[in-house]
Amino acid sequence: MQLVQVLDVIERLLVASEHPDIVSVERYGTATEPWGPDVARNRAQGSIAGVKVTHASTSSALLNGRIAPNAVPVIAPSEVPPPSLRAPRLVMFVSQLLDVARPREFASWQLVSQPDGPSDLPYGIGIACADGTNMLLMCQSTGAMVGSEPSEEPFPDYVIPEGVKTCLQEVSAHRAAPA
């Protein structure tokens, strides 16, 4: 699979999640391959591509394709990080969406962190694609641009909707239909 195809799956899942804390999901960048690992390659590529999620607090989290050969598998914390930790929070949410949707394009996924980062929180997702390719999506975030992040879980009763299970099937069926 190519980076754009992996990002398509993630974007569709985030949109289908209808999470009340997510005010927008948008794509950015024009890269066709993951970013990294060296400066010369990055300059030749020209940009980084990913999915940007903007939250009700005006903070954002950016999940993008990376090459980070030393990413370390991380076990999901028992509790979702607070809203002030948007990057690991988004990564865990995307992993939950993948667990519900079980996209046939992906064979498996694993939460990861950078080797020099906090070892108890995920900052990325390693994805083994069904076609044998591997993709790494890493996340970074910005704080609230106006005001501050909520100190407590803003939507404790949120449940992933049934539409997450079928949102990818609609795309697959559309692609398979004769033109």
User: Quick check: is 166 in a domain?
Assistant: no
User: Quick check: is 55 in a domain?
Assistant: yes
Domain count within the chain: 1
Beta strands in 101-145 (DSSP E): 106-113, 124-129, 134-142
What is the average per-residue pLDDT within 105-123?
A: 89
pLDDT at 38: 67
3-state secondary structure of 33: coil
CA dihedral 54, 84, 94, 166 (to 10 degrees): -60
Inform me whether the pLDDT recorded for 125 exceeds 50: yes
Burial of 111 from C-beta contacts in 10 A (0-12 / 13-18 / 19+): buried
Inform me whether the pLDDT recorded for 42 exceeds 80: no
Alpha helices in 30-162 (DSSP H): 39-45, 86-101
pLDDT at 122: 95
What is the average per-residue pLDDT within 128-146?
A: 93
Phi, psi of 32 (to 5 degrees): -105, -10
Q: Which domain holds residue 115?
A: 3-148
pLDDT at 108: 97
Task: Specify the pTM.
Answer: 0.89
pLDDT at 178: 43
User: Quick check: is 176 in a domain?
Assistant: no
pLDDT band, residue 170 (cuts 50/70/90): low
Q: What is the pLDDT of residues 76-102, one digit of tens each?
A: 999 999 999 999 999 999 999 999 999
User: Quick check: is 168 in a domain?
Assistant: no
User: Quick check: is 123 in a domain?
Assistant: yes
pLDDT at 43: 63
User: Quick check: is 173 in a domain?
Assistant: no
Q: What is the pLDDT of residues 52-69, one digit of tens each?
A: 999 999 999 999 999 888
CB neighbourhood size of 61 (10 A) = 24
